[in-house]
């Protein structure tokens, strides 16, 4: 398509505006810091709570199958992009340093209001 124009020079026009569910929302960033949450209205008049920043995580220990609340000290590595670890972004698959040891985030904090992680054997 040549800059949205037909061969004759006429413009291509959209059939209709975007529906509410088709619109893009702002990118959600979960950073390391004091815990902050935000609640949205989503489809079906339901509520979704997302995380904006957090410094605690629910950490599962594989040996004794216990979940403990641990403080997040630092983000060590993110498999998606190494620059996100430098910015202390918390996302799924990121390896974090906690008060209990190294752990890997197993959920999506941008979609849920908490951080769940599993301890990694060193």
pLDDT in tens, 71-86: 999 999 999 998 999 9
- The answer on pLDDT for 1 being more than 60 is no
Percent residues over pLDDT 70 in the chain: 98
Task: Residue 90: give its domain's CATH number.
Answer: 3.10.290.70
| Residue 108 falls inside a structural domain | yes
Output the 3-class SS for the chain. Answer: CECCECCCCCECCCCCCCCHHHCCCCCCCCEECCCEEEEEEEHHHEEEEEEEEECEEEEEECCCCEEEEEEEEEEEECCCCHHHHHCCECCCCCEEEECCEEEEECCCCCCCCCCEEEECCC
Identify the pLDDT of residue 7.
Answer: 85
Residues sharing a CB contact under 8 Å with residue 112, sequence separation 6 or more, in sequence order: 49, 50, 51
Full residue range of the structural domain in which residue 70 is found: 27-119
| Residue 36 falls inside a structural domain | yes
Number of structural domains in the chain: 1
| Residue 76 falls inside a structural domain | yes
pLDDT in tens, 96-110: 999 999 999 999 998
CA 29, 84, 74: angle at the middle one, nearest 5?
A: 90
| Residue 12 falls inside a structural domain | no
| Residue 3 falls inside a structural domain | no
């Amino acid at each position: 398509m040549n800059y949205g124009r037909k061969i004759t020079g006429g413009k291509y026009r959209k059939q209709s505006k975007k529906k509410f569910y088709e619109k893009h929302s702002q990118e959600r960033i979960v950073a390391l810091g004091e815990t902050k949450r935000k609640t949205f209205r989503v489809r079906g008049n339901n509520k979704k709570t997302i995380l904006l920043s957090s410094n605690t995580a629910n950490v599962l220990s594989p040996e004794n199958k216990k979940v403990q609340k641990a403080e997040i000290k630092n983000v060590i590595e993110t498999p998606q992009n190494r620059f996100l670890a430098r910015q202390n972004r918390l996302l799924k698959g990121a390896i974090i340093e906690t008060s209990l040891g190294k752990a890997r985030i197993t959920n999506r904090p941008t979609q849920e209001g908490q951080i769940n992680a599993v301890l990694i054997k060193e």
